Amino acid sequence: MKKFKTVFNQVKSLNGAEAPDMANLLWQLICYSPKMPVRLQQQHLLDEAKPFTLEVDDPHFAKSVLKFNGFVWGESSRKIMITHGWGSKAADFAELITALKNITDTQVIAFDAPGNGSSEGELSNLLLFAKAAEAVINTFGAPDIIIGHSLGAMANAIAVKETAIKPALLISIAPLINLKENFVASLNAADVAPAIQDKFFADFEHLFAMEASGFTMDRLYPSGAIKRHWLAYDEDDKTAPYKFLKDFLAVYPSIQTKAYDGRGHERIIKDEAVIADIVNLIA
């Protein structure tokens, strides 16, 4: 978190002006995932798991193979995969994982995406999240239930498409819907001038061979592969604005939704009511 704050303050101090290393600063501002240490309760949960390490290729930032770490609780053939959000890690689902472990005949699999938590990588992005989810699916088999929070929900959509699996239940918690708008919000918060933002997005398109505006949930969504989709949200979520979610849900009215007012974007995954509803859905 300290590094992210340093980069943010450095960009903001420019007051909209450009710096010699502006491109590098903006990539760090947008693609450096803040890291928080594991708390004692979380570490106890990780110690109970069977750890694993897998690899994904990062052709954009590291330009090499990155190792990422994961954790498995239980031995059942009924698998639950959890994909965390930006600036997060598997251990941040400690409360939910603890509750899921108590469901009879389940195996819970969670991982730290590249550039997050305990995994390798300096910068990260949605595609690395999705590649990690795909690697877990290809290694452990198709999950019956897939849970994703924030950017993890978008990554799950890509992974389901790429692996051609058909999970019985997809659970999305405060999903991001329009990734470019999140980028713009971060750039605006740091007072990056419009012309410099335009150059950043041109660089983005050159690097990823795709416009940032293409990373939206409605374009990524694997509608034919989802048997049942349940979605939790907070209408006042500032990170995942409801106006984008509302438009997405209008296109996919079969998605079941439930609002949890006042939970916020990060705390919603720890909320007792949210966890209880998820357990009831699965059990």
Q: What per-residue confidence (pLDDT) applies to 225?
A: 93
Task: For residue 148, name the pLDDT band (cuts at 50, 70, 90).
Answer: very high
DSSP state of 141: -
Q: What per-residue confidence (pLDDT) applies to 189?
A: 97
CB contact at 8 A, 38 and 89? yes
CA–CA distance, 87 with 43 (Å, rounded to integer):
18
Assess whether pLDDT exceeds 80 at residue 105.
yes
Burial 24-63 (b: 16+ CB within 10 A, else e): ebbbbbbbbbebeebeeebeebbeebeeeebebebeebbe
| E strand map for 63-106 | 64-73, 79-83
CA–CA distance, 113 with 90 (Å, rounded to integer):
9
CB contact at 8 A, 206 and 32? no
Q: What is the mean pLDDT of residues 98-120?
A: 97
Q: What is the mean pLDDT of residues 212-231?
A: 95
Q: What count of Cα atoms within 13 Å lies in the side-chain half-sphere of residue 236? A: 6
Domains of the chain: 1-32+179-214 (no CATH), 38-177+222-282 (3.40.50.1820)
Q: What pTM was computed for the model?
A: 0.97
Assess whether pLDDT exceeds 80 at residue 1.
no
Q: What is the mean pLDDT of residues 215-239?
A: 96
In terms of Cβ atoms closer than 10 Å to its own Cβ (0-12, 13-18, 19+), residue 266 is: middle
Which of 16-20, 49-53, 219-223 ranks highest by mean pLDDT? 49-53
Q: What per-residue confidence (pLDDT) applies to 17?
A: 86
Residue that has been written with the tokens 């340093």 in this structure: 6
CB contact at 8 A, 48 and 41? no
CA–CA distance, 7 with 198 (Å, rounded to integer):
19
